[in-house]
Structure 1
Amino acid sequence: MTRLLPLIALALLSACAAPLPAPAPSTLGGSEAQQRANRAARQFVQVVQTVEPVAERECRERTRGLNCDFQIVIDDRAELAPNAFQTVDRFGRPILAFNIGMINSVRNADELAFVMGHEAAHHILDHLAKTKQSATIGAVVFAGIAAISGAEAEAVRNAEQLGAAVGARTYSKEFELEADQLGTIITYRAGFDPLRGAEFFARIPDPGNRFLGSHPPNAARLKIVAETEKALRQR
């Protein structure tokens, strides 16, 4: 199965990336822009210091044998569209990655905390491993069907690639909603407002309910956040 790993890795990266709004072109002067960047940096540090220990505690309480030592990293390439995602390094340590566009595009600390909680939840719920398994199964099944049908080697390879992509996306919408639910819990327990944090959904294109789409409709995500936050307040 070694040959499948590059295909699966690509599928995993696309599956766990969260689409976020691109920032509007800046009309600020140099000094004002620098002050805004400094505020965003201070806010990021504050949110990391507050959310990370809560996420690690939730991870330890909910899992067995999973590495819960989160590492927060920043991609400083300013030209990239705002994005955040979760992955693991070669030792299995969970990484929560944010780029500069993401850090600068959130409107408040609640939004940043919610995104951080959401990405941490992907790791706690072991979504990468589950997605990898689905991608592997999809690749094997599609390639097997192509081979049985007498397809040539190139067609079998194409089927394998398609199978990996389809497999990786099979449960992606469910995983996003699960991460929204647990992310709401992490955000709330860290002292932030998950409802206010989830308002960034209103600023991103609604994926609707597209076949094989990687993210669920925005309305479904907002609904599960509201329901989870209500349940937390009633405890």
Structure 2
Amino acid sequence: MRWAIFPLILSIANCGVATPYAPSQKREAVSATLGISLSEANARLAPVLVRVEPVAESVCRKSTQPGTNCDYAIFVDKRQDLSANAYQTVDKRGRPLIILTSALIAKTRNDDELAFVMGHEAAHHVAGHITRAKQDAVNGAVVGALLVGAVGGSGDMVDLAMNIGADVGARSFSKNYELEADALGTVIAHRAGYNPVRGAEFFNRIPDPGDKFLGTHPPNSSRMQVVRNTAAKL
């Protein structure tokens, strides 16, 4: 049995393992995409981080099982050639990490947008989306293997079916996970003193994935509606 499905799981869950980077002693590079330096990105992030991080940790402690690591580490990716992106992962000790690229920080127009992005990523950890996405992929792989094995497929066919099943399994619930993170991210940003509806306007400036079958993200309009509905109840 070939477990090539796990790199796929990490890719779909947007949770590739990352390690915090130490500041470079060399002349500071500037993002090739939007012309913002690492120090400028950190300066933008710092005041928002100070307000959002304790709220995210409080929500995490109250909403997860005892023993869950809620000690977030939030930082800017040192690599300046990366496109606008933010993602949540965990380190080898299980500590939740929220990583933002300089290009993404440069694209945010105000602190509300930056706070919403951070709240959204923090929410992925609170909701256990990495673990759930992995299990979805494993379940899909098992179903694929059983179906092909039942009709006498070869070992290579079973491997292929597992990988296809893992892909389908992981994608089947990914849109729901994004909407869950949008809702809880709205709460986190609000409690940190930011306007999540204004923050979610960031969606208006990113490509709309539409409502594609087995797409990994829901339409931007659906995400905006979730934010508005959640904020209206706060």
Counterpart check, 1:113 vs 2:115: yes
Q: Which AA in structure 1 matches 2:179?
A: L
**1:10 matched to which residue of 2?**
8
In structure 1, the residue corresponding to 2:217 is in which secondary structure?
coil
TM-score w.r.t. length of structure 2: 0.86
**C-alpha separation between the residues in 2 aligned to 1:129 and 1:24?**
34
1:39-118 residue pairs with structure 2 within 5 A?
39-65=40-66, 66-118=68-120
**1:180 matched to which residue of 2?**
182
Contact 1:12 1:168 in 2 (8 A): no
**C-alpha separation between the residues in 2 aligned to 1:220 and 1:169?**
17
Q: Which AA in structure 1 matches 2:11?
A: L
Deviations for 1:64-113, whole angstroms, at most 9, x for unmatched residues? 22111111232222211111111112221111111222222211111111
Q: Percent identity?
A: 49
**C-alpha separation between the residues in 2 aligned to 1:9 and 1:125?**
21
Q: Alpha-carbon deviation of 1:38?
A: 5.1
Contact 2:32 2:81 in 1 (8 A): no
1:188-199 residue pairs with structure 2 within 5 A?
188-199=190-201
**C-alpha separation between the residues in 1 aligned to 2:140 and 2:103?**
34
Q: Alpha-carbon deviation of 1:201?
A: 0.5
Q: Alpha-carbon deviation of 1:25?
A: 5.5
Q: Alpha-carbon deviation of 1:207?
A: 1.2
**1:159 matched to which residue of 2?**
161
**C-alpha separation between the residues in 2 aligned to 1:132 and 1:105?**
31
**2:222 matched to which residue of 1?**
220
Q: Alpha-carbon deviation of 1:9?
A: 3.9
Q: Which AA in structure 2 matches 1:48?
A: L
Deviations for 1:132-184, whole angstroms, at most 9, x for unmatched residues? 11110101110121122222222211111111111111111111111000000
Q: Which AA in structure 2 matches 1:211?
A: F
200, 203, 206: which is aligned to 1:204?
A: 206
Unaligned 5+ residue runs, structure 2?
A: 16-30
**1:138 matched to which residue of 2?**
140
In structure 2, the residue corresponding to 1:97 is in which secondary structure?
strand
215, 230, 233: which is aligned to 1:231?
A: 233
Unaligned 5+ residue runs, structure 1?
A: 18-22
Contact 2:33 2:103 in 1 (8 A): no
**C-alpha separation between the residues in 2 aligned to 1:63 and 1:152?**
43
The structure with the greater share of residues assigned to helix is 1
Count, aligned residues: 218
TM-score w.r.t. length of structure 1: 0.86
